[in-house]
Amino acid sequence: MKEIEKLYKNYGIKKKPVCAFNCGRKKYDLDCTTHCQHYEDNDLYFPPFTASKQLELIKWLAINGDVCRIDAHITDKWFVENEVMTSRCFAKFEDALANVFNRFWQDLTSEEKEQVREILK
């Protein structure tokens, strides 16, 4: 399972029709009609893991998180590590960031999980 999908599942984010993200319409409701470019797409998706969400998660970590490092190396690989975690390598920064929150998930309080969940919505 991809890190970002695991992140959304850990924090209770539900998949939605693509209309909910791209044009603000709700699939299967009256305001999604055949005129909508996404009308034929019946699949469900997690919300986009946007740069603004990633920035908010970084800010949240800076305020609430344990010391954690995400390093880039010349090979364009991202490494995540802290004192209690072994190092893991990722090709994309967003996967590295999602991995940090996936690893901390079990240690967060209900309130902290809800704060992260609000960012991910």
Q: What is residue 85's predicted lDDT score, i.e. its pLDDT? A: 54
Confidence of residue 32 (pLDDT cuts 50, 70, 90): low
Domain count along the chain:
1
Q: Which domain holds residue 79?
A: 3-120
| pLDDT tens by residue, 42-65 | 778 898 999 999 999 988 888 886
Residues 6+ apart with CB under 8 A from 101: 7, 10, 11, 57, 116
